[in-house]
Chain A
Amino acid sequence: MLQDDPPPDFLKIDFARGRPEPTFNSHIGNLYVKRGEKGTRDEFVMGFRVHQHMCNPAGGLHGGMMMTVADLVGAMGGGTAAGLRKFLPTVNMTFDFVAPAKVGDWVEGRAELVRATRSLLFTNIYLTVGEQKILRASSICKIPSGDGLSFGKARLVREDAKP
């Protein structure tokens, strides 16, 4: 059976946090994140291994999976870059499906912060397999006024934190 086998420094994201019902973020498969050096393009990198259950009938990574991950990278990665710790509802997303990905590929997602205003967050997102870009996306998220909903529901599964 295909293992996720994430590259070094990638930690699994625990979206469920012990709640019995899985949400979509855990239902679609394991997602990982690497926190690189602050201020670099690797400050927030999301990654996942392509499994059969993420694919379309043609055998490639399903566009819905790419869009789901790009949405998360835009809100979580863009929010991280802007120093926001709130839930950021997506207002608009645009996707260009540049290349396919196949089972076994390790896909990474990075966000570039374009601009954060008081109420909106603009980001560009790329999903890549190695050096190959597979999806280009841009997203606009709403920044809720006040404290909004806290963004702290997901946490990283660290080896040393396991019981």
Chain B
Amino acid sequence: MAIPSGFRELTEASGFAAANGPWFEKIEDGRAIRGFLPGAQHANALGIVHGGMLAAFLDSAMGVSVWQTLQRRAVTLTLSLDYLGPARIGDWLEAVGEVVGHDEQMAQVRGRLYGPRHQVLGGLGAFALLSRQRTLKTRS
């Protein structure tokens, strides 16, 4: 399957994100949409995409939405996920995050992960905002 147009591969990924990618991203109206094409290495014993992989992917999309909205780096404090339906190997998956509230220290983020037919995963998380002075070499 071809990667849908407008999506750019996140080549700056390292570590876990690089080992389990590649992940893609498209910026639309100032919002980041992340994309991912699961292969056999992302499957669980049932042959559908592993819940841990879906969790990692949605978490990344929710984290980047904080950056897009607030221009602040963030780390996940808490994350609650609802597994709504299975994702199949070879299905193009997309994930988006939306900042629903924030103050100087924290952001509340809603996220959803969906496939070509249906919702796969819903998320609600609290992210700690890193101080503006603090720099990280890269971001995943």
- B-contacting residues of A (Cβ < 8 Å)? 15, 21-25, 27-28, 52-58, 62-65, 67-72, 87, 89-97, 149, 151, 153-154
- In the assembled complex, the CB of B5 is this many whole angstroms from the nearest CB of chain A, namely 27
A15 to B76, CA, bound (A): 29
Q: List 5 A-B contacts (CB under 8 A).
A: A25-B50, A52-B15, A55-B15, A57-B138, A95-B76
**Are B16 and A71 within 8 A (Cβ)?**
no
B80's partner among A24, A56, A57, A94 (CB-CB below 8 A) is A94
B115 interfacial contact with A, CB 8 Å: no
Q: Which of B26-34, B41-49, B98-106 lies at the interface with chain A?
A: B41-49
Pick from B18, B52, B82: contact of A71, CB below 8 A: B52
A27-B20, A57-B139, A93-B81 known; A154 vs B53 contact (CB < 8 Å): no
Docked-complex contact B136 and A67, CB < 8 angstroms: no
A-B pairs with the 8 shortest C-beta distances? A64-B56, A68-B52, A62-B16, A24-B50, A55-B15, A67-B55, A27-B41, A94-B80
* The one of B40, B50, B78, B140 that contacts A68, using a Cβ cutoff of 8 Å: B50
Is there contact, CB below 8 Å, between A92 and B14?
no
Given contacts A53-B15, A64-B16, contact A69 B78 (CB under 8 A): no
Structural contact, B51 and A93, CB atoms closer than 8 A: yes
